[in-house]
Every structure is written in structure tokens, then in C-alpha cells.
């Protein structure tokens, strides 16, 4: 067990280091005009986060025998969409948060207008990355990759989830409504990470469906665990303001299901994720380890 963990930690650290270097290279330099915008974009993206979405893309890529050079680009594109959503989320008109990934939020370190433009420009850059590199054997597969990311980011994906979140503040939601929110808000981009990673290599339709099933379960598990951690953890461990959703009257898995049932649900979703991977055998080892990591993590 110890050996497996060490192996997984090593793989994870390797992907994280690779992603940090890739993102630093793919983002415009801080000396490129307009300098302040590019510096703020780098601030918003670099040296932060667990890179959960890139890890999922790389792990899904192993199932599909995808080239790491391709995975790096799709993982970066997904991570830029994620980073843009955090910069916008933290703005005063949204969640009004001053701390993110253990550092001042973008609008605190810079200013609100710059944080707004950082998010806007990161979104454009994500799509630019997906077309400026060769990521698939055919251009039509690559067009489909752009479609997957655009749909995941848009009004019927992540941005739509944010809107549902806004409208649900102060309300008590049932489990179906809460799931609808999270399937949009975090689930869509997590699914995109897995699907884009797989699209860099070869998978058939049946395999794609299983990966999608895995991604859905992991996406929900991620959110359930986030809610539990938000309740349990301190701000220092979390790297963002703890207990905030609760204080803002946002419905969470905790407020809907209670702590015990939320923990149970996370375990069920973990089992569901593992079940979806069964037929892949050893190829899905990293995806299976990630499902464990996401559910068992303490931060």
C-alpha cells in the first residue's frame, strides 16, 4: 500500500511540475504588451492549485495511449478555463472572496477591472491553445475537442452552473437541484478534462461512455468532498476562506444531507467511479487512484 501511494504521489508530482512549466511557457510573458494584464494572467494561473483537472486529463490519456505533448496542451486549456472562472468568481459582485490558493485574489492583488479582463483573456487563450497545436490525428477530431470545451464552459455548462449557484443562495435545495447545480458548475469542466485527455489518443464509443460515467461520478464526489472540507477545515489548510458557503447561505451537500450522509455519498460515488473503470484493467490505474485521492484528500 505504501509503495502504491509513493508511486502515485510521484506520478502526481511529475504531472504537476510538468503542467507548471507548460503553463508558464504557454501564457504570454509578463513583459509582453499589455504587461500588467499578462502579469495578472500569470498570477491567476501559476503557482496555484492541485491541478485536479490536468491530472484527470493525463490519467484519461493513459487509458487512450495518448502522447504527453498533446495532453499537456488540453490540460492547460482546461486549467485556463478553471483559472478564469476562479478570477471571476472571487469578484465582489460574485462570491466576493479575498483569498484564493493561499494568495490574495486577483482583484485584490491587482484591481477589479484587471481581474475581469484576466478572466476574459484566459478564456480566449484556452481556445487558442486548442487550435494552435496539433492535438489529434485529424483536424475534425480537433474541432470536436474545441466543441467539448466550449460546451463545458458555456451557459449550459460551467457558466450556467454559476448562475444556478447565484440563484440558489439563501434557498434550501433538494438533492436533485443540488446535483443539477454541481453537474453544471464543476462537473462539466471535470468531464471535459477526462474527455479531452482521452481524445488525444484512441478510445472507442463504449470506452468513451465509461470514461464519461467515471467523470460524472468523480465530478460529484469532488464537490461533496469540497463541501465537507469547507465545513471541517481551517482557512490555512484550505488555501481559501473556509466555511464561507455556509455563512453565505449557499446550499451545500452538508446543508442538504448532513455530514454523515455526505461522507457516505462521497464513498458511494468513489465506488461508482471505480466500477466504471473495471473493463480498462491496468490502463485506468491513474484514474482509479485519482478517484481515491479526490475522495480521501484533506485539502
Binding site for a second copy (CB under 8 A): 28, 32-34, 36-38, 41, 84-85, 88, 91, 93-94, 111-114, 116-117, 119-121, 123-125, 127-128, 130-132, 138-140, 142-144, 146-147, 149-151, 153-157, 159-160, 162-164, 166-167, 180
> Which stretches of the chain are DSSP H helices?
2-26, 35-45, 52-63, 68-89, 106-109, 112-132, 139-153, 158-168, 175-182, 188-199, 205-232, 235-238, 244-247, 253-257, 259-277, 285-296
94 vs 233, which CB is nearer to a second copy?
94
Cα–Cα distance list, 18 to 22, 25, 54, 75, 200 (Å): 6, 11, 10, 11, 17
64 vs 183, which CB is nearer to a second copy?
183
Minimum distance, C-beta of residue 168 to a second copy, in the bound complex (Å): 10
Q: For CA atoms 261, 265, 271, 272, give the dihedral sign.
A: positive
Helix (H) or strand (E) holding 104: strand 103-104
28 vs 239, which CB is nearer to a second copy?
28
183 vs 203, which CB is nearer to a second copy?
183
Minimum distance, C-beta of residue 202 to a second copy, in the bound complex (Å): 18
Minimum distance, C-beta of residue 227 to a second copy, in the bound complex (Å): 21
DSSP-assigned states of every residue in 218-229? HHHHHHHHHHHH
How many Cα neighbours within 13 Å face the side chain of 31?
0
1 vs 113, which CB is nearer to a second copy?
113
Minimum distance, C-beta of residue 81 to a second copy, in the bound complex (Å): 9
Residue 230 in 3-state DSSP?
helix
90 vs 226, which CB is nearer to a second copy?
90
107 vs 216, which CB is nearer to a second copy?
107
Measured CA to CA, the distance from residue 282 to residue 216 in angstroms comes to 21
Q: Are 76 and 19 in contact (CB under 8 A)?
A: yes
All residues at 6 or more sequence positions from 28 whose CB lies less than 8 Å from its CB, including other chains: 38, 41
Minimum distance, C-beta of residue 185 to a second copy, in the bound complex (Å): 11
Minimum distance, C-beta of residue 291 to a second copy, in the bound complex (Å): 28
Minimum distance, C-beta of residue 131 to a second copy, in the bound complex (Å): 4
Q: Are 290 and 8 in contact (CB under 8 A)?
A: no
Amino acid at each position: 500500500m505504501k509503495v502504491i501511494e509513493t508511486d502515485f504521489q510521484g506520478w502526481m508530482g511529475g504531472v504537476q511540475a510538468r503542467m507548471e512549466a507548460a503553463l508558464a511557457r504557454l501564457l504570454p510573458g509578463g513583459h509582453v504588451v499589455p504587461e500588467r494584464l499578462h502579469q495578472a494572467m500569470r498570477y491567476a494561473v501559476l503557482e496555484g492549485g492541485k491541478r485536479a483537472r490536468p491530472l484527470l486529463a493525463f490519467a484519461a490519456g493513459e487509458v487512450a495511449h495518448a502522447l504527453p505533448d498533446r495532453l499537456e496542451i488540453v490540460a492547460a486549456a482546461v486549467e485556463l478555463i478553471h483559472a478564469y472562472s476562479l478570477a471571476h468568481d472571487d469578484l465582489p459582485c460574485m462570491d466576493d472572496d479575498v483569498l484564493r490558493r493561499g494568495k490574495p485574489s486577483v482583484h485584490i492583488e491587482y484591481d477589479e477591472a484587471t481581474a475581469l479582463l484576466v478572466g476574459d483573456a484566459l478564456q480566449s487563450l484556452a481556445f487558442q491553445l486548442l487550435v494552435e497545436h496539433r492535438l489529434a490525428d485529424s483536424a475534425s477530431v480537433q474541432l470536436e475537442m474545441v466543441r467539448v470545451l466550449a460546451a463545458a464552459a458555456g451557459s449550459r455548462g460551467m457558466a450556467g452552473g454559476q448562475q444556478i449557484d447565484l440563484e440558489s443562495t439563501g434557498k434550501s435545495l433538494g438533492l436533485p437541484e443540488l446535483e443539477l447545480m454541481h453537474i453544471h458548475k464543476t462537473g462539466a469542466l471535470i468531464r471535459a478534462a477526462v474527455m479531452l485527455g482521452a481524445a488525444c489518443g484512441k478510445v472507442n464509443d463504449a470506452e468513451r461512455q465509461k470514461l464519461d460515467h467515471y467523470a460524472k461520478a468523480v465530478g460529484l464526489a469532488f464537490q461533496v468532498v469540497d463541501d465537507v472540507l469547507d465545513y471541517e477545515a481551517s482557512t490555512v489548510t484550505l488555501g481559501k476562506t473556509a466555511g464561507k458557503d455556509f455563512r453565505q447561505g449557499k446550499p451545500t451537500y452538508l446543508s442538504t444531507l448532513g455530514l454523515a450522509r455526505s461522507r457516505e455519498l462521497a464513498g458511494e460515488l468513489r465506488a461508482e467511479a471505480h466500477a466504471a473503470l473495471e473493463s480498462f484493467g491496468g490502463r485506468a490505474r491513474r484514474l482509479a487512484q485519482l478517484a481515491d485521492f479526490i475522495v480521501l484528500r484533506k485539502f
